[in-house]
A and B are shown apart, each in its own frame.
Chain A
């Protein structure tokens, strides 16, 4: 059978064999955790505690204003010893609550099921998800309760769970699918109920056939849930490309998946939803892969939010000589951090440590019009043409050429033999287009 996929894309070396066969280890719970007050897309949280307060595990310690926001919780029990601005793996500086772990592991009273899971209505489920601080765990960290909120005139026909994990090195979702397959299916069913949709699809690449088998078994009794096997290709896990591969539908330019009746969630998000609905457990830990050629013993960890990268790297045997980059996320779209003393946040799917040799950019040449960037672009853009527009600040032309449709997957840069940093020019063009729009709106 020909497996479904999208058009374009690339085949970077996966390096998943480093960790895909390794059972997830519960990471050592650190003495200090650093909980940033912004771990989601949307308004940052205001602290609900002050320095000196005693907090329990799972206690809400930060709450945001506005609809698009998500609370944060204490991932250990202990004492708040600081609230100050710290660096966030996303690249910004945000207020952050430091908790000294008292090792009591005492749960907050609020951590209990909100009711019989079988009788919860959609609104109640969304409220639980909001209170549990659940956001998209694939890395985008969009608040889940917002995604599930009904939109006038739009019906959700399919909920797709994203188990693609197409970034090289990362295997956290793969391990989660093997080790918590029942939780994922349970979470999917709650999500489907919360959005009033009758069809669930779990999409997995064909390099994880063991996960396919595990989820097929877990979903055996759920007749409205199916597992779809897609071809291994980057960026198969990109939302619009995934929807196309699963349904054959293209999300219109500028539109949301809901425009084609679809909602996409990461498999980890679904497992977190199940924990929240059935046990009232908020999002205080997640699966994280620590890998790369710069770390001695690559591994998968179950990590408390707020654990420093350095603690996980230390548990992985430390780094080899000559580390050049540490990446929060995968090497295609992840962000480099300037120090390993940054906390794991809700969106941290992996920590990839690369040696200097694997980061050496090749020499840049002029574009020779080989069109490899065009063939690789899953959005069907012409990256090299957009770069030429960006170089002469032709922002209107770039906008007319749909530069805003770029999903920043960097496939073009990967494919370019001239080693042109195409994506940086394209990002510049996108910023300029957004700035012009903001200006014209006043």
Chain B
């Protein structure tokens, strides 16, 4: 009884899907990073551009090499390039390029592909790349330069921690980004623009940056109250260092952060606690990278113990 023309395609439902895709999401993340990249190029000029390009290209080549060795198809998405860009964002502008390349390769090969590739890594690859470089080249990784003229200096958090006697930058400077620091972390304004775009596009959940930043703000406000510092202190802590970059672009990494809503809240709070602890009591002036990496480690645990009750389970014993 079937008509003579070709049989129709038979598949199981659903027969429509959203326009969301991994390549689109990665493109959106790149777009969200664009304002911070422009700010970085403005403040840190050619050295920053070279580090950024080195990281992106070497991450991409490392990705291709890994896929080739593992006989996997090229994925056609930009996550490796994003890993490279995000790593560059956490490096000093004047870092020797071979170190930047080495960090990128480490991030892609060790932190990503040895764990199973896209979607399987436990730790944020960019942050592993940064941690690896900081452990291997502590001097080069902490040699900072002033924006625009590239004179050697300390970061705002470094000035505060070491009490070097240098004047702290103003909140205005921190907000717009004309301070020393890693390539992509200095301009709070540019990073917030990108973060807002990711929130608007629903690629990230407000819970992680919200609780992360909120925790840091509340704790540093308490410290300010105890020590008799002004309201500038918590704001200084929000804008200085890599906190905004970390809260919107690193802690929100899909693969390495919890999938449950309650898990994300705890994850953000944990990141915030660790940042304040490291900044105030730790050996480093800055602790965003390590706090996120440490929380990456407990992500599976958070996911496990924060599952939402299944529909109909809440009242099943009522």
Q: Which A residues are within 8 Å of any B CB, using their own CB?
A: 10, 12-13, 86-87, 168, 240, 244, 249-255, 310, 323-327, 331-341, 352, 354, 358-359, 361-363, 365-372, 374, 378-382, 384, 401-402, 405, 408, 410, 413-419, 421, 423-424, 427
Report yes or no: A415 in contact with B20, Cβ–Cβ below 8 A: yes
In the bound assembly, the distance between CA atoms of A362 and B16 in angstroms comes to 11
| Given A366-B120, A371-B254, A414-B16, A323:B21 Cβ within 8 A | no
Report yes or no: A338 in contact with B310, Cβ–Cβ below 8 A: no
- Which chain A residue has the least Cβ–Cβ distance from B77? A365
Report yes or no: A249 in contact with B315, Cβ–Cβ below 8 A: yes
- Which chain A residue has the least Cβ–Cβ distance from B24? A417
**Mask: chain B, 89-133; 1 = CB below 8 Å from A; 0 = not:** 000000000000000000000000000011110000000000000
Report yes or no: B310 in contact with A405, Cβ–Cβ below 8 A: yes
Report yes or no: A338 in contact with B14, Cβ–Cβ below 8 A: no
Interface residue SS majority, chain A: loop
Report yes or no: B16 in contact with A168, Cβ–Cβ below 8 A: yes
In the bound assembly, the distance between CA atoms of A358 and B19 in angstroms comes to 11
**Mask: chain B, 16-50; 1 = CB below 8 Å from A; 0 = not:** 11101110110000000000000000000000000
In the bound assembly, the distance between CA atoms of A339 and B6 in angstroms comes to 9
A-B contact list, 26 entries, CB within 8 Å: A244-B311, A250-B311, A250-B315, A251-B312, A254-B312, A255-B316, A325-B10, A326-B8, A332-B14, A335-B13, A336-B12, A337-B10, A338-B8, A338-B10, A358-B16, A368-B118, A368-B254, A368-B255, A370-B203, A414-B16, A417-B25, A418-B119, A421-B12, A423-B14, A424-B12, A427-B12
- Which chain B residue has the least Cβ–Cβ distance from A408? B13
In the bound assembly, the distance between CA atoms of A380 and B260 in angstroms comes to 11
Give the total of B residues in contact with A, Cβ under 8 Å: 44
Report yes or no: A366 in contact with B315, Cβ–Cβ below 8 A: no
Kindly list chain B residues whose C-beta atoms are within 8 Å of the C-beta of A417.
Answer: 18, 20-22, 24-25
| Given A12-B16, A252-B315, A336-B8, A369:B255 Cβ within 8 A | yes
In the bound assembly, the distance between CA atoms of A286 and B107 in angstroms comes to 61
In the bound assembly, the distance between CA atoms of A346 and B254 in angstroms comes to 45
Kindly list chain A residues whose C-beta atoms are within 8 Å of the C-beta of B315.
Answer: 249-250, 252
| Given A250-B312, A363-B76, A417-B24, A371:B259 Cβ within 8 A | yes
Kindly list chain B residues whose C-beta atoms are within 8 Å of the C-beta of A379.
Answer: 310-312
> Which of A323, A331, A380, A413 is in CB contact (< 8 Å) with B311?
A380
Report yes or no: A366 in contact with B119, Cβ–Cβ below 8 A: yes
Report yes or no: A12 in contact with B254, Cβ–Cβ below 8 A: no
